[in-house]
């Protein structure tokens, strides 16, 4: 296996292109365990693809398989030299530019059933709230995200409030939660990832927040 990270968002990468690997939720969870396994936010399995240079499958820390991961995509591009990745969230294009690795995610989707939500709502201003957080934007960038803009992201107890938002019945596939503050020099962002908890970085969360 390879152990890689993007801005501290870390992955175990297994290459099943030549010798297929039978991955299960239980095995993914065991490998991701930071005390009894290898330890990672997400487990990545590479497979052969008929539509891209390589197929990338993703399991979160809790063993659930998900559609997309921006930082993992950058790691796979760096590791394999692939220019295109097949994911459950769509085709991801990537490339290396010196020491930098960039990927382009599928176009964002804003319809309630594309995010998805359980029932129709205004995704630009959801009529929902959890404690100090309310009226987020919901969108998909290959996986589902909520984005809250607040005055100071450090004042939000994300570890306490993140699970209740992630598992809210309004989100049938659960949801990634982004808490952002716009500063003069850019955007400060904290992310609670579904199935992984608070991570040091989230590529798709950064893209969703930028959008």
Task: Give catalytic residues, as residue numbers.
Answer: 69, 202
Q: Which helix (H) or strand (E) holds 147?
A: strand 144-149
Long-range CB contacts (< 8 A, 24+ apart) of 82-86? 82/52, 82/53, 82/54, 83/53, 84/52, 84/53, 84/54, 85/49, 85/52, 85/53, 85/54, 85/55, 85/56, 86/49, 86/51, 86/52, 86/54, 86/55, 86/56
CB-based burial label for 42 (10 Å; 0-12, 13-18, 19+): buried
Q: Which helix (H) or strand (E) holds 165?
A: helix 158-166
Other CB atoms within 10 Å distance of the CB of residue 4: 19
Structure tokens belonging to residue 91: 């085709």
Of 203, 185, 184, residue with least CA distance to 193 = 203
Q: What is the dihedral of CA 208, 189, 86, 83, to 10 degrees?
A: 110
């Amino acid at each position: 296996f390879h152990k890689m990270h993007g801005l501290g968002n870390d992955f175990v990468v297994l290459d099943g292109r030549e010798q297929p690997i039978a991955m299960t939720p239980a095995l993914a969870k065991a490998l991701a365990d930071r005390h009894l396994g290898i330890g990672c936010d997400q487990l990545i399995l590479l497979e052969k693809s008929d539509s891209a240079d390589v197929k990338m499958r993703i399991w979160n820390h809790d063993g659930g398989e998900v559609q997309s991961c921006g930082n993992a995509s950058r790691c796979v591009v760096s590791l394999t030299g692939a220019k295109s990745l097949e994911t459950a969230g769509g085709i991801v294009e990537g490339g290396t530019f010196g020491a930098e690795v960039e990927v382009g995610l599928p176009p964002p989707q804003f319809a309630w059933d594309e995010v998805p939500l359980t029932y129709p709502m205004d995704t630009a201003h959801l009529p929902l709230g959890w404690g100090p957080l309310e009226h987020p934007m919901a969108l998909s960038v290959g996986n589902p995200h909520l984005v809250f803009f607040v005055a100071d992201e450090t004042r939000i107890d994300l570890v306490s409030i993140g699970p209740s938002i992630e598992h809210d019945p309004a989100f049938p596939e659960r949801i990634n939660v982004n808490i952002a503050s716009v500063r003069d020099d850019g955007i400060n962002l904290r992310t609670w990832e579904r199935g992984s908890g608070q991570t040091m970085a989230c590529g798709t969360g950064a893209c969703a927040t930028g959008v």
